[in-house]
Amino acid sequence: MASHSESIIREPLITGKNITYAQITNEVLAPVENKPNMAWWIGFVLSVIGASIWLFSISWTFWYGIGEWGLNKTVGWAWDITGFVWWVGIGHAGTLISAVLLIFRQNWRNSINRSAEAMTIFAVICAATYIFGHMGRVWLAYWTLPLPNQFGSLWVNWNSALMMDVFAISTYFSVSLVFWYTGLLPDIASIRDRATGLRRRIYSIMSFGWTGSVKTWQRFETVSLILAGISTPLVLSVHTIVSFDFATSLEPGWHTTIFPPYFVAGAIFSGFAMVQTLLLIARKVLGLENYITMFHIESMNKIILLTGSVVGVAYITEFFIAWYSGVEYEQYAFINRSTGPYWWAYWSMMTCNVITPQLFWFKKIRINIPLSWILSIIVNIGMWFERFVIIVTSLHRDFLPSSWVMFYPTWTDVGIFVGSIGFFFVMFLLFLRVLPSVAMAEVKLLVKTSSEQAKKKLIDEGHLDPTHVDDYVKALEKYDSVDLTQYHKA
């Protein structure tokens, strides 16, 4: 790759002057090899408090029963499955970035894939807690697995979408984990090589004996590609199957064939929003501005804009189909969503998911870091409401009006949800301390071709079309990590 120069028109993926491989290693490993700073400690303490709330609430539920939640005879799922789908959705960006973008040779993924994958894994763990938590008899959760048993010939029900869910989630989790860990191997080896004592021994074991030989690298590349191939369909399948939980039922508002694509788009939407939420802060706190550049931020904002619009179209299509179907229950379900007692949830969802992301049509907003961060939070909120709207407002008024009820959450519901966010951040912050948050090896691949300094060198060599160079320099204006003076004085 190094033999070819990348076109000057492409924006740089790494900024900064005199970037060396060693510098990348030093900068990325700074949080791993040094004592944590104040910001980390504040974040960590808050997260631990959150995780404690989660632990308390879930223990309370297990001790007394699901009755501690606000559910009732009509609304059998509410914050539990809302939380589950929300977390699974968030867990979508990681694999999409690492697998799909790898296959499409989108090199900009190299800087963000590590954190995104970590986020995926932690989000799926959070989602899994809801799968267990919502079960009335959680100690029998293993019955959902097709294990040979002595209870007679008891088997699982392959017709049930929940059953498919068990497999979809566990497959996704294991493949994501393997993919993530495989990618980590060369970086762990780098830590090992720089560490001493016990640390060295631990990282040595964790590096699986990485030697750095050409053959190792070759195998590494092959495995990455194979895993990417396996993961790509999973990106689509997981949320498709999660959507089956609803689509294969006959509840008005659930029984909808649009759900699989709509859910996948929503998942990518929320996943990228969560990546934004995390990386915009991590980039600042960990000083990774040169590796996670404005180009990355803008690209992700574009994806959020696209998927948000897809989701918006899906919302409108649902309404149209409800009317077009002529089924009164379906029609009522949708009218009730938008004008019934939970109208505020519906309009929160519409505002957060469809209307506000449209602001990303403006480049100024796309490259504005505080606004991007706020909008990413709004998308996260909107996507939570989307699941709440689908689940609660469909269930609370279905076929027989005699059973119509309202759902009111209890402190346990809130505690488990808020706590799961704390739990997520505990895991994420620990990850930042022990593993490199940027895929060093993959970023280093870009230094020779896609970095600002490589391009500067090409410009300085002077064989380029000046109009292209002008365009390039203009594109650099949005970067907050680029010093433009050196280009202007030239």
Partner 1 sequence: MESNKKYWKGLEELNNTPEFVELNKHEFAEPVPIEEVLSGTGLTGKTPRRNFLKSVGFGIGAVSLAACQRAPVHKSIPYLIKPEEVTPGVANFYVSSFEGQAILVKTREGRPIKIEGNPGDLFGQGGISSQAQASLLGLYDTSRLKGPMQDGGDTGWNPLDSFVKAELAAIKASGKQIRLVTNSINSPSTLGVIAAFAAEYPTTKHVTYDAVSYTGIIQANQNSFGKAVLPHYRFDKADIIVSFGADFLGSWISHSEFTRQYVTKRNEAAVKSGKMSRHIQFESGMSLTGSNADVRIPIKVSQEGLALVNLYNEITGTTLPGSKKLGNNIADNAIMLAAKQLAAAKGRAVVVSGSNDVAVQILVNAINSALGSYGNTIDLDNPSYQYKGNDADLVALVEEMKRGDVGAVFFLDANPVYNFYQSSAFADALKKVRLRVSFAPYNDETAAACNIVAPNHHFLESWGDENAVEGFYTLIQPTINPVYDTRKAEQSLLVWSNNAVKDYYTFVRNTWNNGILAKGGLAGQNGWDTLLQDGFIKVAEKPATPVTFSRDLNAVAQTILAQGNKLTGGEGKLELQVYENTSVGDGKYANNPWLQELPEAVSKVTWDNFAAIAPKTAEELKLEEGDLIKITANGYSTELPVLLQPGQAQGTVSVALGYGRTKAGKVGDGVGKNAYPFLALTNGTFQGNAVATIEALGGDKVVLAQTQTHGSYEGRDIIRETTLQEYLKKSEEKDHGHGEHEKKQTYDLWEAYDRPQYDWVMAIDLNACTGCGACVVACNVENNIPVVGRDEVRRRREMHWIRIDRYYSFDEKGKTVTEEKEIDKLEDLDHVSVTYQPMLCQHCDHAPCETVCPVLATTHSSEGLNQMTYNRCVGTRYCANNCPYKVRRFNWFNYWNDSRFENYLQNDYTELVLNPDVTTRFRGVMEKCSMCVQRIQAGKLNAKLQKRSLNDGDIKMACQQTCSANAIIFGNKNDPNSEVSKALKSDRTYYVLEELNVQPGIGYQTKVRNRLTTEA
Token pair in block for residue 175:
């493949």
Q: Does residue 250 contact residue 395 with C-beta atoms inside 8 Å? A: no
167 is an interface residue for partner 1 by CB under 8 A: no
347 is an interface residue for partner 1 by CB under 8 A: no
355 is an interface residue for partner 1 by CB under 8 A: no
144 is an interface residue for partner 1 by CB under 8 A: yes
Smallest gap from residue 66 Cβ to partner 1 (A):
6
Find the binder of partner 1 among 99, 166, 389, 416 (CB under 8 A): 166
Q: Does residue 83 contact residue 388 with C-beta atoms inside 8 Å? A: no
Distances (CA, A) of 80 to 71, 112, 353, 420: 10, 30, 21, 11
Find the binder of partner 1 among 5, 237, 249, 325 (CB under 8 A): 249
Smallest gap from residue 136 Cβ to partner 1 (A):
2
Smallest gap from residue 73 Cβ to partner 1 (A):
5
Smallest gap from residue 33 Cβ to partner 1 (A):
46
329 is an interface residue for partner 1 by CB under 8 A: yes
Find the binder of partner 1 among 64, 208, 323, 361 (CB under 8 A): 64
Candidate segments 59-67, 206-214, 302-310, 457-465, binder of partner 1 by CB under 8 A: 59-67
3-state secondary structure of 484: coil
Smallest gap from residue 420 Cβ to partner 1 (A):
19
Report the alpha-carbon distance of residue 435 to residue 441 in Å, rounded: 13
Find the binder of partner 1 among 20, 26, 45, 76 (CB under 8 A): 76
Candidate segments 161-169, 174-182, 210-218, 317-325, binder of partner 1 by CB under 8 A: 161-169
Q: How many C-beta neighbours within 10 Å does residue 67 have?
A: 12
- In degrees and rounded to multiples of 5, residue 446 shows phi and psi of -90, -15
Find the binder of partner 1 among 14, 28, 58, 71 (CB under 8 A): 71
Find the binder of partner 1 among 398, 413, 442, 452 (CB under 8 A): 398
Which residues on adjacent β-strands are paired with residue 451? 14
Token pair in block for residue 402:
């005699």
Beta strands (DSSP E) in 131-245 are none
> What is the crossing angle of helices 38-64 and 113-133, to 10°?
20
Smallest gap from residue 177 Cβ to partner 1 (A):
24
337 is an interface residue for partner 1 by CB under 8 A: no
Q: Which of 304, 451, 449, 286 is nearest to 366 (CA)?
A: 304
Residues in the chain: 490
What's the one-letter identity of residue 51? A
Q: What angle do CA 164, 304, 29 make, to 5 degrees?
A: 85
Binding site for partner 1 (CB under 8 A): 64-67, 70-74, 76-77, 134-138, 140-141, 143-144, 154-157, 159-163, 166, 245, 248-251, 328-329, 332, 395, 397-405
